[in-house]
Chain A
């Protein structure tokens, strides 16, 4: 069932390529059908996993495809899932559906757009479900290329620059990962790329000392870790709405997931040595992203930098090395994926596509809350969620991360609180400027009435808000999946490092 998330997406790519040219609504419909099917397969997989854990014991890893792929190197086609990967599969499914709903207005080369889009989604599903690291790497790179084309062809501000920067950063990151993977494979002598096999071997300390940061940074580049985050704001700003949603929603999670699944699992000793260093980088990311977001004049840059800040929480949660912090990090991945998707949807689709500006001063002069009340309300809700107010998923996630951080390094946890405060400040600032500015009398009259919010946008917004609210009110829905996963043998390192 779960494997079909991947296959459905790639079948969707093939179907879209074969569709007749020029029929945009057909392409949109097809893409939506395949994204929804993928989401259904993902949800079905979760219930399947629940049955499986009821039988096999909680936190077990469920394998659903394992066969020889390249025997001479011991590479397997091994797809499996635990609670962590399932959480992210669910996120991918939701983000994919929402992204299509919010790109309903793409008229230029529609078919190609959705073909690239589904290829990206398929790659992302693949990363989350691969337990053979070679396979994981293959999917990881499959997800890079479509991003370039989506941004370069359908993007806006400095799209070719943003797209190329994003592609090169991703590729350099994956190059670092590749070196680390091959070195680990050779040093362990395992004749297998299975993550469980490679994790069994205890690598020499001196090897871990350089292999861990190599692989960790390689993945963390894509997670937007300071100071390797600079692709993120430019990439987000250049990208079309759906791509921004996917970038912040799932692609940045690929990096964080890789950090957890590969770097930290394989090299726990190196992790222990580098823990404080990366925790400090994470804090700097939280504070730096928030402070830069405070002074931006481009609406989308604010959201772009806020993503850097929120991803800092994920990395900090990973570095706490305790179950609360780690499950908080995974929950934050999910939560940020949903909330950032919603924020980008409002900025890119609801506002920019209608006003054709993202300059906060110009928006201030329009008084958008009257012109686009639905967008304003959605953005208020998204802001509340993003600031981490109780009731939404952001609160549940960041709260856990801070508790975890408090246990591991109390001083840094205080700084994190400062980060949250600045987060409130920039969110309120942008909310006030973009929607509740004093309308300039002359300007408003000069403006033509804006096209109303369409049905797909409303459905997409309701979907994302509902999910964030559900997880905020009942975080156990996901935590029951996530927390037991840390008991599996794959996380033995967690107990050893404590």
Chain B
């Protein structure tokens, strides 16, 4: 493996980095004097073209390699997840074009792209050092993005909270990973599994696993490591919050699943024994699966129940995100091929839906100056197209067919019940289904404001820009399309998983 090959493997990441630099340069050199919105459009278009270029490159090139013992793994599955992340980034950028919270446009877009590069490397890493570095690149960019609205003290608060919690979680992750290295003598995930084999659950390993779970638990905002999420979602500029909730979620969940399923699962041991353990209600066996089962159960219950009492839509989305993290954890602890596919499907469609929901929140904020539930009153009379999109997003999050959110849940639950031969995880699935029935209540609260309540005195129609409307309609159409024909995505994911690692 020489460096030329490495560059070839890392072309998509390189494209994004170069695009980020190009955006910075263009904004600095050519765009400064122009009108704000025009600047945003030009810079945003450059960024989108870069992302599209990377996507096209990955679609046409069929690289299949594992460079430097897992430092950079390129196979159809990682390519697919990267394409998904880039798509989410594009939507985030398009929705940020209408915002006016900053005039540091070049820097803002460049940071979004740097965060994206971090996510892409994260997806490709199969080495705990590389995982940590990529995670930090993503996180640091996101901290700054959360603070980008300098006129709003809440943005600073969001960023500080996010940063402190994130820094802490990084420390936990690093601490846990160092134990893993100490125990197994390697940083490569498959070799870790070999190195840890037949050790049983010794106390050091338990500490290591718990630390790693805590670290990732912060990233994905699972209870009890979720406290940063509501404040970050509420205070951060909308596009930043959308990126934190979508692309970053997809990457974190993917790598979390990979670390647990590859690093901490011994092969050749009957399912449910060994490090993984079993969370089945009558076949309980200590390991990381029960730990995640508890975290998942807590996330679903707390996220859904607390979301009910929220009056701010952003906080409502944040708590619903916590609940959705719980559902997705179900896929991680099932750790089989189908559950990985279901996780990717769920995370991607969830990302699309959340970006859309944040897009609608941004429209309402610009129109009414607030994002309380009451600010949504009568929206269907003021902006019918946007309202219809919100209807789709909320119902998808609630898991109503034929929308993508329903099939995601269905697939995850099916995978979880299949994971153990004797329906052991049924208790968790029943909890999840019950909680998703609860969630309909608060999603309907939002929709009730939009469709049922009267707009009151401020009944003037909102006029979101054409671009925003198009993006929202495209997102809603994707949510419907992926829900009606989930096989478009599922088939792709399954064939990518089936083609195996390099």
Taking a contact as CB atoms closer than 8 A, the residue among A160, A168, A183 that contacts B441 in the complex is A168
Q: Does B77 contact A (CB under 8 A)?
A: no
Q: How far is the CB of A21 from chain B (nearest CB, A)?
A: 9
Q: Does B410 contact A (CB under 8 A)?
A: yes
Q: Does B487 contact A (CB under 8 A)?
A: yes
Taking a contact as CB atoms closer than 8 A, the residue among A112, A149, A167, A185 that contacts B414 in the complex is A185
Chain A hits for B418, CB < 8 A: 186
Q: Is the CB of A186 within 8 A of B486?
A: no
Q: Does A389 contact B (CB under 8 A)?
A: no
Q: Does A148 contact B (CB under 8 A)?
A: yes
A148 vs B447: C-alpha distance when bound (angstroms) = 10
- Contact mask for chain B residues 249-288; partner A; CB cutoff 8 A; 1 contact, 0 none: 0000000000000000000000000000000000000000
Q: Does B417 contact A (CB under 8 A)?
A: yes
Q: Does A313 contact B (CB under 8 A)?
A: no
Chain A hits for B411, CB < 8 A: 73
Taking a contact as CB atoms closer than 8 A, the residue among A73, A145, A187 that contacts B395 in the complex is A145
Q: Is the CB of A179 within 8 A of B444?
A: no
Taking a contact as CB atoms closer than 8 A, the residue among A71, A168, A179 that contacts B491 in the complex is A71
User: Interface residues of A, CB < 8 Å — how many?
Assistant: 32
Chain A hits for B448, CB < 8 A: 152, 160, 164
CB-CB under 8 A for A182 and B417, given A72-B491, A175-B433: yes
Q: How far is the CB of A191 from chain B (nearest CB, A)?
A: 11
Chain A hits for B407, CB < 8 A: 70
A–B Cβ pairs within 8 angstroms, 20 of them: A70-B486, A73-B414, A112-B380, A134-B410, A137-B401, A141-B401, A144-B400, A145-B400, A148-B444, A149-B447, A152-B451, A160-B448, A160-B452, A164-B448, A178-B410, A179-B429, A182-B413, A182-B414, A183-B417, A186-B417
Q: Is the CB of B444 within 8 A of A164?
A: yes
Q: Does B367 contact A (CB under 8 A)?
A: no
Q: Is the CB of A72 within 8 A of B430?
A: no
Secondary structure call for the A interface: helix
Q: How far is the CB of B382 from chain A (nearest CB, A)?
A: 13
Q: Is the CB of B430 within 8 A of A179?
A: yes
Chain B contacts to A: CB under 8 angstroms = 338, 341, 380, 395, 400-402, 406-407, 410-411, 413-414, 417-418, 423, 426, 429-430, 433-434, 436-437, 440-441, 444, 447-448, 451-452, 485-487, 490-491, 494
Q: Given contacts A69-B485, A70-B407, A171-B440, could you give 8 more A-B pairs where the C-beta distance is less than 8 Å?
A: A144-B400, A152-B448, A153-B451, A164-B448, A172-B434, A175-B433, A175-B434, A182-B417
- Contact mask for chain A residues 410-445; partner B; CB cutoff 8 A; 1 contact, 0 none: 000000000000000000000000000000000000
B493 to A, closest residue via Cβ: A72
- Contact mask for chain A residues 120-153; partner B; CB cutoff 8 A; 1 contact, 0 none: 0000000000000010011001101100110011
Q: How far is the CB of A152 from chain B (nearest CB, A)?
A: 5
Chain B hits for A70, CB < 8 A: 407, 486-487, 490
A164 vs B448: C-alpha distance when bound (angstroms) = 10
Q: How far is the CB of A161 from chain B (nearest CB, A)?
A: 11
Chain A hits for B490, CB < 8 A: 70, 72
The 3 A-B residue pairs whose C-beta atoms are closest, nearest first, are: A138-B401, A175-B437, A175-B433
A167 vs B440: C-alpha distance when bound (angstroms) = 8
Q: How far is the CB of B402 from chain A (nearest CB, A)?
A: 5
Q: How far is the CB of A221 from chain B (nearest CB, A)?
A: 11
Chain A hits for B423, CB < 8 A: 183, 186-187
Q: How far is the CB of B412 from chain A (nearest CB, A)?
A: 10
